[in-house]
């Protein structure tokens, strides 16, 4: 594990690294931010959720170059795309992954792979080692990924696990400080009825699609969950998923 000014870089498996940072939503809620990098057997890198490079860009790029060759840059939903352009500038030959609606939202970027359009039927080179599930019925159009070798599920807003202790471990700030953060910490975790209600509401426009994709994820043999907001789940990962998505099972 190495720590830069604001980024905790941690190897959680021989093929997986996390880049975790403090992040406050709307200036009130301390939710943290995590990017996940998966190294394929041929040394190609699958970069899920590019994190903030304003403070630690040099160290982040140096680490990525040490690990392997960046081949895919993944914006995992309609919200997690703020820093994708910088990564694409760094690695112009990498394929940029998004979902329907994102090309219109981010007109300054060209998306090579678009879930809901061309990503559903084609092969892009990572499928032998990484499975995907596009949650077309979810409000943010999230894509979940499963890395076979490490038995790791990687998600953005499909699951939260606050408080974000790891994200704030290198700061002098507690993730539990502030009334809004304290509230979020109490309700935004997989075993909270509030998070179950949120996920039910977030998928209400297409419940059948949500049931299909929730079940698809559940069919994967994962033991770990790495999410963008909150601490990783290293134990009873499937039980956590079942609890959060109770209304779709």
Query: Is it the case that residue 20 has pLDDT exceeding 90?
Result: yes
Please give the pLDDT value at position 27.
Answer: 65
Q: Please tell me the distance from the alpha carbon of residue 1 to that of residue 232, in angstroms, as a whole number.
A: 15
Instruction: Report the run of H or E that residue 202 belongs to, with start and end.
Output: helix 193-202
Q: By the 8 A CB rule, do 60 and 211 touch?
A: no
Domains and CATH numbers, the chain: 2-118+129-248 (3.60.15.10)
pTM of the entire predicted model = 0.95
Q: How far is CA 55 from CA 4, 59, 138, 249, in A?
A: 9, 9, 32, 42
Query: Is it the case that residue 102 has pLDDT exceeding 90?
Result: yes
Strands 152-155 and 224-227: parallel
Residues 6+ apart with CB under 8 A from 136: 100, 115, 116, 206, 209, 213
At residue 1 the predicted structure's pLDDT band, cuts being 50, 70 and 90, is low
Instruction: Give residue-wise pLDDT tens across range 33-90.
Output: 999 999 999 999 999 999 999 878 999 999 999 999 999 999 999 999 999 999 999 9
- Nearest Cα to 137, choosing from 226, 76, 201? 201
Query: Is it the case that residue 104 has pLDDT exceeding 80?
Result: yes
């Amino acid at each position: 594990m190495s720590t830069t000014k604001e980024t905790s870089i941690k190897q959680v498996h021989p093929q997986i690294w996390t880049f975790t940072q403090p992040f406050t939503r709307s200036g009130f809620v301390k939710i943290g931010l995590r990017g996940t990098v998966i190294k394929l057997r041929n040394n190609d890198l699958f970069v899920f959720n590019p994190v903030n490079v304003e403070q630690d860009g040099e160290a982040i790029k140096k680490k990525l170059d040490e690990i392997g060759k960046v081949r895919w840059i993944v914006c995992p939903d309609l919200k997690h795309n703020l820093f994708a352009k910088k990564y694409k500038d760094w690695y112009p030959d990498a394929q940029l992954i998004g979902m329907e609606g994102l090309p219109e939202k981010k007109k300054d970027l060209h998306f090579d792979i678009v879930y809901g359009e061309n990503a559903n039927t084609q092969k892009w080179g990572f499928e032998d080692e990484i499975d995907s599930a596009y949650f077309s019925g979810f409000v943010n159009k999230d894509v979940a990924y499963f890395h076979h070798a490490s038995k790791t599920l990687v998600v953005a807003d499909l699951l939260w696990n606050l408080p974000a202790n790891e994200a704030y471990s290198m700061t002098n700030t507690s993730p539990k400080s502030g009334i809004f953060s304290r509230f979020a910490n109490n309700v935004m975790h997989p075993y909270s009825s509030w998070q179950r209600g949120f996920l039910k509401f977030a998928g209400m426009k297409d419940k059948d699609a949500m049931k299909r994709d929730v079940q698809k994820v559940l069919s994967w043999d994962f033991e770990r969950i790495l999410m963008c907001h909150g601490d990783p789940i290293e134990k009873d990962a499937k039980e956590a998923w079942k609890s959060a998505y109770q209304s779709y099972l």
